[in-house]
Amino acid sequence: MDTIAETPPTALIAELGARARAAAVTLAELPAPAKAQGLRAAAAAIRADADAILTANARDVAAGETNGLSGALLDRLRLDPARLEGAAAGVEAVAALADPVGEVISTSERPNGLQLSRVRVPIGVIGIIYESRPNVTADAAALCVMSGNAAVLRGGSEAVHSNRAMHAAFARGLADAGLPENAVQLVPTTDRAAVGAMLKADGAIDLVVPRGGKSLVARVQEEARVPVLAHLDGINHTYIDGAADPDMARDLAVNAKMRRTGICGATETLLIDTAFADPAPILSALADTGCELRGDPDIRAIEPRVVAANAEDWDTEYLDSILSVKRVDGVVGAMAHIAAHGSHHTDAIVTGDAATAERFLNGVDSAIVMWNASTQFADGGEFGLGAEIGIATGRLHARGPVALEGLTTYKWVVRGTGQTRP
């Protein structure tokens, strides 16, 4: 890390942005094999530095425990050999993806003979602001490089040592492969003012992507003078329809909540149709895993371990072993509840009735809707996109898991033969 770390935040981000802009110009012209080679070298460097990265992570986890980080945040922060190998493998998976840059989206010819085409191009410089999860350092960097963008990364202070170790390995791998050393930069300070400087760095940063809790996303959306690609809470629902297979419903409900409770794809509210004959085995299976159930009176009457839900529970992303449970009147009641309390992230229906499923899939306004599948599949890797930079819940530019294509824009290319406009 050089003396730029001592630069005041606004000047610091301007300098990082200028370096990134120069790197982005080079990246935009690189062929796919060169970018892929750089990512494979970065993955190899992460593996080579595994001991150093895990040691740095252990330091962060110990500090997090001392500082009282929640179990969910500690889970996101913690690396082990398997998770680190997953990060390296994720970088390699991105390297194996088709390069979207240069793809011709559409072509047309005007009556005067002008030939028009829309062609995918990189966005330019992407700023990523994230919390807790050091694997984002590798995921976001890989996606930006492969899509021809330079990245300016600002990780959370709770993962400062992990992020620095991960970034050092990644950057060394890129440089060894001949890619610009400033293609991926890590903001070298934990000063929160650097976040504010990134949000106001119009001209230096082209797009900001926040990955973190509600307070981070809210701050970014409130303060940003740069376009933002963000998602809100993952208040995800699994709805068990009256026509659901009981065993499938039980297995999906448990997996959707308890596989990993700290990820944004975890189900936070379980809705059960009043026509579903016997919810007791589902509730019992969830409670037996150690999940705290908070339910309405109908649910409490079925399972004695359920505690009373309050109004806030239906609007809460727990990211923990807690689940809200409510009985609803059919798919219409489920859709009404989701419309009132969901966050447009991921919602699923469990049913054997295809018509009911299609009504749910068409009527629920979420970035991801599922039929007979666990909401835990809400992940770019599971969608075949390699890693993801986040799951966007807005309606513009990109929606759902954002990977390579979501980090591109397009330009119009016009080819003529000397036409002049009358």
The structure's pTM equals 0.82
Instruction: Work out the number of other CB atoms within 10 angstroms of the CB of residue 88.
Output: 26
Per-residue DSSP letter, 177: T
**Closest by CA position to 205, among listed 24, 390, 26:** 24
pLDDT at 87: 94
Beta strands, E only, 110-149 = 115-122, 125-130
Parts of the chain belonging to CATH 3.40.605.10: 9-229+398-414
> 370: Cβ–Cβ under 8 A, 6 or more apart, which residues?
346, 347, 348, 349, 377
Report the distance separating Cα 249 and Cα 279, nearest Å.
9
Q: How far is CA 118 from CA 10, 171, 248, 375, in A?
A: 36, 33, 45, 35
Q: For the residues 313-329, what does the mean pLDDT come to?
A: 96
Q: For the residues 271-294, what does the mean pLDDT come to?
A: 98
Say if residue 348's pLDDT is above 60: yes
Report the distance separating Cα 233 and Cα 347, nearest Å.
13
pLDDT at 1: 45
Report the distance separating Cα 213 and Cα 197, nearest Å.
20
Say if residue 294's pLDDT is above 80: yes
pLDDT at 251: 98
Mean pLDDT of the chain: 94
Class of domain 9-229+398-414: alpha beta
**Closest by CA position to 396, among listed 230, 147, 236, 148:** 230
Query: Phi and psi at residue 402, in whole multiples of 5°?
Result: -105, 115
Q: What angle do CA 93, 96, 98 make, to 5 degrees?
A: 120
Query: Tell me: the pLDDT tens digits for 134-143?
Result: 999 999 999 9
Q: Is 419 exposed, middle or buried (0-12, 13-18, 19+ CB in 10 A)?
A: exposed
Q: Under DSSP, is residue 193 helix (H, G, I), strand (E, B) or coil? A: helix
Tokens of 90: 């994720």
Q: For the residues 342-369, what does the mean pLDDT come to?
A: 96
Q: For the residues 86-110, what does the mean pLDDT come to?
A: 95
**Closest by CA position to 345, among listed 267, 244, 421:** 267
Parts of the chain belonging to CATH 3.40.309.10: 236-382
Q: How far is CA 336 from CA 296, 330, 354, 365, in A?
A: 16, 10, 20, 11
Say if residue 230's pLDDT is above 80: no
Query: Tell me: the pLDDT tens digits for 155-169?
Result: 999 999 999 999 999
Superfamily name with CATH number, domain 236-382: Aldehyde Dehydrogenase; Chain A, domain 2 (3.40.309.10)
